[in-house]
């Protein structure tokens, strides 16, 4: 198998995060800085801890991914980004109350040196937040041009060879695809005409990133890079895109349990999911319009995995309900309950109940690290457009219009590792040996 020609990961990799002062971002940055000092452990990170089997089973070759795949070194990363609040990342991490102060203080100087750039923000898209540190412009086009200048300036000031842009900000309200999204020309005209209803702030960031040749990672369920206009721009600039909505808690559980039901041909009558969450994300999702965006992302998982049209007798009449409740005392410590009504032999009912007490940002931070490193790898490999091999990390994985998305976590994991094998010129595994 021919090895992919991969450009060397030399020089500085700039990581620009939208929502850089949020709980996920500050946890990701503080943790990465701690890991590269040899203080913290990158638990949850595939790029840092996972091995990859190479060759035949009897060869017993299981090197770590980071030792055989040409990823950027953590010491070469420099962080920056945008936020609607002006506080530096040390203050933001303290405010988020995810990490203990003593764990933040070990990288205090580096965190204090990272201050956000003013954000593109429109309260009509995130109604529960009041931004105080924002850009101003006469149109969406003007605001996007300001973002492009930010990227260029950050790259120059920090001597960056490459940039990756990641969305880790709040979920925007639900908007449906429209004619403004059908082509790059229509999209650019809508930006110049300041069509606020069709052009969200997240789209401004994505357009700016792709225009500057920076891979864009969509970490929320917003309509953003999953439109023809963005696919056209990604092709024009030969830039990778991936998303959407980080798969961390309850949906991670669903992508494990639903394949188990299907592989054993067990029926499903209903699946009720509810969450309590007290951080900024919980506050935003307390708004029905923002929750609808998240709900669409969460609800798509089960049907895609179980294929009710193929197995109507097992999955043709599922009642699936998802709820998210804002509960401030819980802060970043999310609790997700699942009640699953399953059907077994001769239609006898059974139940499965899951209570997942997780830490939202602790689960998301290693995903952010992996996605940044893999998006940069994709860029250096000459991959552009939708990176479906990164579906492993997303609730609602992006896919080509003529493809069905893959939600099964274990199939996604195989695709991820087989792509890495292809990149380094190793045979992919089909497990038929």
Question: At which residue do the structure tokens 């009504």 appear?
Answer: 341
The CA distance from 240 to 42, in Å, is 25
- Reported confidence tier of residue 172, pLDDT bands at 50, 70, 90: very high
pLDDT above 70: percentage of residues in the chain: 98
pLDDT of residue 279: 76
> In this predicted model, what pLDDT tens digit does every residue of 92-112 receive, in sequence order?
999 999 999 999 999 999 999
For the cut 70, the answer to whether the pLDDT of residue 370 exceeds it is: yes
The DSSP code for 154 is: H
Which phi and psi angles does 134 have, rounded to 5°? -135, 155
Retrieve residue 398's tokens.
Answer: 């992006």
- Reported confidence tier of residue 147, pLDDT bands at 50, 70, 90: very high
Angle 228-237/201-211 helices, nearest 10 degrees? 20
- CATH architecture assignment, domain 250-357: 2-Layer Sandwich (3.30)
DSSP for 246-294, written as a single string: B--SHHHHHHHHHHHHHHTT-EEEEEEEEEEE-SHHHHHHTSHHHHHHH
Decide which of 3.40.50.720, 3.40.630.30, 3.90.870.10, 3.20.20.70 is the CATH code for 12-246+362-423.
3.40.50.720
pTM of the entire structure?
A: 0.94
The CA distance from 116 to 86, in Å, is 6
Which phi and psi angles does 286 have, rounded to 5°? -70, -15
Burial group, residue 325, by CB count within 10 angstroms (0-12, 13-18, 19+): middle
- Domain ranges in the chain are 12-246+362-423, 250-357
If you count them, how many residues does the chain have?
A: 433
């Amino acid at each position: 198998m021919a090895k992919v020609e991969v450009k060397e990961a030399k020089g500085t990799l700039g990581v620009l995060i939208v929502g850089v002062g949020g709980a996920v971002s500050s946890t990701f940055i503080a943790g990465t800085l701690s890991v590269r000092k040899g203080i913290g452990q990158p638990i949850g990170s595939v790029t840092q801890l996972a091995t990859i089997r190479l060759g035949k089973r009897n060869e017993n070759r299981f090197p770590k991914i980071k030792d055989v795949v040409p990823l950027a070194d953590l010491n070469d990363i420099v962080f920056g980004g945008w936020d609607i609040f002006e506080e530096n990342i040390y203050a933001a991490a303290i405010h988020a109350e995810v990490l203990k102060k003593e764990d933040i203080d070990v990288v205090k100087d580096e965190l204090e040196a990272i201050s956000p750039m003013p954000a593109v923000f429109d309260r009509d898209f995130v109604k529960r937040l009041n931004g105080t540190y924002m850009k101003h412009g006469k149109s969406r086009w003007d605001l996007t041009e300001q973002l492009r200048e930010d990227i260029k300036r950050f790259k120059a000031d920090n001597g960056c060879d490459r940039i990756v842009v990641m969305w880790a900000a709040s979920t925007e309200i639900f908007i449906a695809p429209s004619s403004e999204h059908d082509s790059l020309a229509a999209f650019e005209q809508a930006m110049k005409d300041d069509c606020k209803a069709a052009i969200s702030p997240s789209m401004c960031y994505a357009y700016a990133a792709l225009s500057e040749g920076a891979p864009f990672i969509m970490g929320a369920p917003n309509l953003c890079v999953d439109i023809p206009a963005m696919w056209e721009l990604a092709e024009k600039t030969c830039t990778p895109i991936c998303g959407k909505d980080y798969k961390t808690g309850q949906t991670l559980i669903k992508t494990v349990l639903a394949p188990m039901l299907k592989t054993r041909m067990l029926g499903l009558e209903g699946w009720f999911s509810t969450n309590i969450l007290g951080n900024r994300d919980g506050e935003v999702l307390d708004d029905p319009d923002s929750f609808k965006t998240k709900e669409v992302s969460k609800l798509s998982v089960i049907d895609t995995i179980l294929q009710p049209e193929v197995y109507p007798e097992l999955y043709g009449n599922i009642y699936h309900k998802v709820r998210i409740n804002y509960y401030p005392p819980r802060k970043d410590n999310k609790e997700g309950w699942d009640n699953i009504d399953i059907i077994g032999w001769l239609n006898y009912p059974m139940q499965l109940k899951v209570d997942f007490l997780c830490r939202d940002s602790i689960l998301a931070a290693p995903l952010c690290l992996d996605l940044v490193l893999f998006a940069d790898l994709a860029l250096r490999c000459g991959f552009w457009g939708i990176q479906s091999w990164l579906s492993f990390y997303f609730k609602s994985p992006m896919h080509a219009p003529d493809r069905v998305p893959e939600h099964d976590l274990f199939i996604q994991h195989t695709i991820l590792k087989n792509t890495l094998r292809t990149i380094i010129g190793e045979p992919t595994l089909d497990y038929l040996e």
